[in-house]
């Protein structure tokens, strides 16, 4: 996306604050729906949760108890991905790094296998097909798995994408659909005397006016100055530390599809890229806005990855990285209109920002063009805990007929 200065801007229909996957998916889908869109961010493509993420599209192997409704949204989004990527690559002309090899979930010991088996029942309830495999069958699919791996599940429908390529594709597609980027820091949200959001004031001194403002700045969203109190729930940063390993030129990668594993109860994943890079992740640490890489965090990820695929220890470390997942109070995303007219949210995607990008883009484009979220997204209304338009409370809030 080409980046311009605020002074050259006439008011847009929509101003999106944030240029991560959620902000750009919203911008692209809104622009595709015919709205004029401006995106403002301090950085386009710089470090953020989206550029750190491994890019797993794996609801079947990520399903956990108590998250059934969220998982249904994740499955919807996963199923949108092939079409989303096809349109994106057509609009932007840039590859999105989508891979459809399926995901293998493996267990290190008998207790881990029992835990995975327990989750198998949940997956069946959610209609997520997985195939139970013996250790030998797992190794037939991924020969570099450790001999000790007890068994696992193959989720043929769980895929992956390269979030950095996806971001680039979204920037290109949004631009081709007319969206404009502004590189600046948002100083505050501008709310007029009638209590309506009118745009943002920038650090550089200018202002950008827009008919509607979407806050999609990840874990920084609630700290944007000028948001009336109680309108945006707090988001907690959940730190993830990851490593990127490089397979030597001409050698086969140690895994050919995403491998997720449980090692003595500790989850780990290995996600291969077309380039031969393998992403290992990730810690899940709740300790505020701490972005330090720690020896212990990286060791934990390497230790567990090595237990499952010993060959990873031979690979060169290409990069270590850390990101902050934006966790909402109930771990579910916050979407659509807020109690402030003209202000919408697309935030709080926690562990699922990459996976939920397509469904978020669609739901937000609908909310921006009609004023209401589609029915499938109403549970995730930004107002569910704060009240106001769109709240999915007893009276239901605004809705659209006919769609599930
Ligand atoms: N969705 C993977 C992670 O948050 O680590």
pLDDT at site 399: 40
Residues 171-209 have pLDDT tens digits of 999 999 999 999 999 999 999 999 999 999 999 999 999
Cβ of 56 closer than 6 Å to ligand 1, yes or no, is yes
pLDDT at site 390: 47
Ranking 59-68, 141-150, 175-184, 297-306 by mean pLDDT, the lowest is 59-68
Cis peptide upstream of residue 119 (ω within 30 degrees of 0): no
pLDDT at site 64: 81
pLDDT at site 389: 54
Cα–Cα distance, 310 to 89 (Å, whole number): 36
> Which ligand 1 atom lies nearest to the CA of residue 325?
4
Residues 106-128 have pLDDT tens digits of 999 999 999 998 887 788 878 88
How far is Cα of residue 271 from the mean position of the Cα atoms in its chain? 15
List, as one string, the DSSP characters of 263-275: ETTEEEEEEE-TT
Answer for the pair 322, 292: CB distance below 8 angstroms, yes or no. Answer: yes
**What proportion of the chain, given as a percentage, has pLDDT over 70?**
94
- Quick one: average pLDDT of 280-303? 97
pLDDT at site 121: 76
Residues 25-53 have pLDDT tens digits of 999 999 999 999 999 999 998 889 999 99
All domains in the chain, ordered by first residue:
3-51+165-234+329-400 (3.50.50.60), 103-156+236-326 (3.30.9.10)
Cβ of 198 closer than 6 Å to ligand 1, yes or no, is no
How far is Cα of residue 24 from the mean position of the Cα atoms in its chain? 11
Q: Decide if pLDDT at 163 tops 50.
A: yes
Q: Decide if pLDDT at 338 tops 70.
A: yes
Provide the H-helix boundaries in 110-232: 110-125, 135-141, 163-176
User: 119: which 2 tokens?
Assistant: 């989750």
User: 135: which 2 tokens?
Assistant: 């250790």
Tell the residue number behind the tokens 């597609």, with chain if given: 173
pLDDT at site 397: 37
> Which among 259, 275, 267 is positioned nearest to 312, based on CA atoms?
259
Ligand 1: distance of its center to the CA of 170 in Å?
A: 21
Decide the pairing of beta strands 159-161 and 98-99.
Answer: antiparallel
**What proportion of the chain, given as a percentage, has pLDDT over 90?**
86
Cα–Cα distance, 328 to 160 (Å, whole number): 24
pLDDT at site 109: 95
pLDDT at site 235: 97
pLDDT at site 147: 96
pLDDT at site 129: 82
Residues 365-380 have pLDDT tens digits of 999 999 999 999 999 9
Cα–Cα distance, 126 to 78 (Å, whole number): 14
> Which ligand 1 atom lies nearest to the CA of residue 355?
1
Ligand 1: distance of its center to the CA of 322 in Å?
A: 12
Residues 125-138 have pLDDT tens digits of 788 889 999 999 99
Answer for the pair 390, 398: CB distance below 8 angstroms, yes or no. Answer: yes
Among protein residues, the one with the nearest Cα to ligand 1's atom 5 is: 282
> Which among 394, 347, 403, 349 is positioned nearest to 372, based on CA atoms?
403
Which three-class secondary structure state does DSSP give residue 77? helix
Is this model's pTM higher than 0.75 or not? yes
């Amino acid at each position: 996306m080409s980046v311009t200065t605020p002074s050259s801007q006439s008011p847009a229909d929509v101003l999106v604050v944030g240029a991560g996957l959620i902000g750009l998916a919203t911008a692209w889908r809104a622009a595709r729906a015919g709205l004029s869109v401006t995106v403002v961010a301090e950085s386009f493509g710089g470090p953020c949760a989206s550029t750190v993420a491994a890019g797993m599209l794996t609801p079947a192997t990520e399903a956990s108890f108590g998250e059934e409704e969220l998982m249904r949204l994740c499955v919807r989004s996963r199923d949108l991905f092939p079409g989303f990527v096809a349109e994106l690559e057509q609009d932007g002309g840039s590859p999105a790094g989508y891979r459809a090899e399926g995901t293998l979930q493996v267990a290190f010991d008998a207790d881990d296998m029992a835990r995975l088996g327990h989750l198998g029942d949940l997956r069946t309830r959610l209609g997520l097909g997985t195939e139970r495999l013996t250790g030998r069958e797992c190794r037939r699919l991924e020969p570099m798995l450790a001999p000790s791996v007890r068994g696992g599940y193959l989720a043929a429908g769980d895929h992956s994408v390269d979030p950095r390529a996806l971001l680039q594709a979204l920037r290109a597609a949004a631009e081709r659909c007319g969206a404009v980027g502004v590189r600046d820091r948002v100083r505050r949200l501008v709310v007029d005397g009638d209590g309506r959001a009118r745009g943002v004031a920038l650090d550089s001194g200018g202002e950008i006016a827009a008919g509607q403002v979407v806050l999609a700045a990840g874990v920084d969203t609630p700290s944007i100055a000028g948001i009336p109190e109680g309108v945006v729930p707090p988001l907690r940063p959940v730190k993830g530390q990851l490593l990127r390993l490089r397979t030597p030129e001409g050698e086969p990668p140690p895994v050919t599809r995403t491998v997720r594993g449980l090692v003595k109860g500790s989850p780990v994943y290995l996600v291969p890229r077309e380039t031969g890079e393998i992403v290992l992740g990730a810690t899940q640490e709740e300790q505020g806005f701490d972005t330090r890489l720690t020896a212990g965090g990286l060791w934990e990820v390497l230790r567990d990855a090595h237990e499952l695929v010993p060959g990873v220890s031979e690979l060169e470390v290409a990069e270590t990285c850390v990101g902050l997942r934006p966790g909402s109070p109930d771990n579910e995303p916050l979407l659509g209109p807020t109690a402030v007219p003209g202000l919408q949210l697309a935030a709080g995607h926690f562990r699922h920002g990459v996976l939920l990008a397509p469904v978020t883009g669609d739901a937000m484009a609908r909310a921006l063009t009609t004023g209401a979220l589609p029915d499938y997204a109403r549970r995730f209304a930004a107002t569910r805990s704060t009240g106001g338009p769109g709240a999915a409370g007893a009276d239901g809030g605004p809705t659209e007929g006919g769609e599930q």
